[in-house]
Every structure is written in C-alpha cells, then in structure tokens.
Chains A and B, each alone.
Chain A
Amino acid sequence: SQTIHQWPATLVQPVGSPLSLECTVEGTSNPNLYWYRQAAGRGLQLLFYSVGIGQISSEVPQNLSASRPQDRQFILSSKKLLLSDSGFYLCAWTSGSWGSDQPQHFGDGTRLSIL
C-alpha cells in the first residue's frame, strides 16, 4: 500500500533562518505531489505542485521554493524565513497515471513556528 511521510512534525525557527521540509511517498511511482499551507486550522492554500521530477509549478509568489530531486521526494525550502511563513504545512500526493478522478492523500503535516 501507498504511504506518505512528512518530517519533522514540528519545527521552531528564528526569523531569517533557512528551512527545509521533506516529504516522501512509498508504494507508487510517478505521483503528482503538492505542498499546501494551512493557517489557523482553516482553509488550505496550494503553494506548489509537481507532475514529475524537476517539474515544479508555483501557485503563489512568496518566500518559499520547492524541488523534486527524485520521483517520490518533494522538498519545501526557504533561504530566509519570515514571520508570515508560520503555519501548518501539508504534503499530498495523487496518482498521476489514473487521471483526475483520484483523491489526494495527505501526510500528517509539519507545524512551523517562526520566532
């Protein structure tokens, strides 16, 4: 069966420090991958998505970047964190080979606090 892993679960970082959040998927190949941010336990904002290795689409301009160095690995990064980067970050995947009727499956998220 397929599983998705995100780490770390929680992270406290000072303003101006770098960031690297990692997400990996097991049990499938060529997934579509997504990074979301959720503020205040409410709506989801899609940050980035990827349909293949090295292919990154950005949904909103911001202080963050994403990379997909391997088929089942998705990384969210920042060179210098801002206070506004605080939030709950969620990674998700869906099957790329079955088209658009498949649900997305989510990891358990990283709660990022910026001090």
Chain B
Amino acid sequence: AQSVAQPEDQVNVAEGNPLTVKCTYSVSGNPYLFWYVQYPNRGLQFLLKYITGDNLVKGSYGFEAEFNKSQTSFHLKKPSALVSDSALYFCAVRDSPGNTGKLIFGQGTTLQVKP
C-alpha cells in the first residue's frame, strides 16, 4: 500500500536561511509525489509535483523539491526563507494506479519562519 511520512511536526528557521521540510514515501511502482501548502483557514495550494524526469523539481513561490529514489525521499526546499512562508505543508503520494486521482497525504509539517 502507498504511504507517505513527514517526520517533523514543526520546522523552525530564521528568515533568509535555507529551509527543508522532509518527506519519505513507500509505494509499489513509480511514485507520483506532490507538495501542498496550507495557510490558516484556507484550502491547500499546490506547490509542485514529481512524476518522472529530472530529480530536482521547481515549483511556485521559489520552492523546489528533490526526488531521491534510493532514499525514497522527496524533501521540499527553499534557498532563502521568508516570514510569509510560515504555513502548514503537506506531502502527498498518488494512490494506486487508475483514474481515481486519489492522494494519500502525510500528517503535515508546520513551518515557522522567524524574522
């Protein structure tokens, strides 16, 4: 069965420093991986996805993620954090192949960027 784990409940970084939010996955077959961000009382916003190809994926708001097949990881990164990046971040993996489009989400990681 497909699963995804976000090992950190919260990540704290100083503004201007690089940030990493961790995600590991377990899938049968090729992984389809996604990152989302959620601001308070809002829906999830899609940041980026990995389907195939280049292991470094670039997305919205300066975020990028690195797919590592040997470590089964898909960590979210940003070279220089902003206070406005403070939010809840979710990693997700596509459920079993098919046309349902279902996603399995991690439990989320709260990113706190301090000025």
Contact = CB atoms under 8 A, between A and B. Distances in A.
Genuine A/B complex: yes
Interface stretch (B14-22, B61-69, B96-104): B96-104
6 contacts: A41-B40, A41-B88, A100-B97, A101-B32, A103-B34, A109-B41
Interface residues of B, number: 26
Contacts, number: 68
B90 A94 contact: no
Interface of A: 6, 32, 34, 41-44, 46, 49, 51, 57, 88, 90, 92, 94-96, 99-109, 111
A95 B101 CA distance: 8
Contacts of A94: 101
Interface of B: 32, 34, 36, 40-46, 49, 51, 88, 90, 94, 97-103, 105-108
Contacts of A41: 40, 88
